Amino acid sequence: MRSARSGRRGAKPEREAPRPERSVIQAPRFAKSKRRLPDKAQLAVDDAVRGLLQDPLSGEPKRGALKGVRVVKFKVAAQQLLLAYEFDEKANVIEVLDVGPHENFYRDLQQYLSAR
């Protein structure tokens, strides 16, 4: 006869391994694009990245050739900027890919990703 403590019935569920702390990685293209922006816009980009650390799924997921990429839109003065990133849930890492105005943003991003 089996005791109540032996076997799987009374066993405690195994704990999941703790997730690594969320981190941000900059693609070289992002760093170069950010450097070209005015100081006020650079501060707004920093705020947008901090927002991603809080909620990495807040960006709009893209389809087609940009599948896996998410984009957050935000305004600086009268200009709208886009911030493209990828979020790896398993590694808990956000890779910021590019930032800039809408004009040719998606076309240039697609060319950059296909060349990587």
Residues 29-73: pLDDT tens digits? 999 999 999 999 999 999 999 999 999 999 999 999 999 999 999
Sketch out the chain's domains with CATH numbers.
23-115 (3.30.2310.20)
CA distances from 77 to 11, 39, 45, 93 (A): 59, 12, 13, 30
pTM (two decimals): 0.81
CB 43 within 8 A of CB 50: no
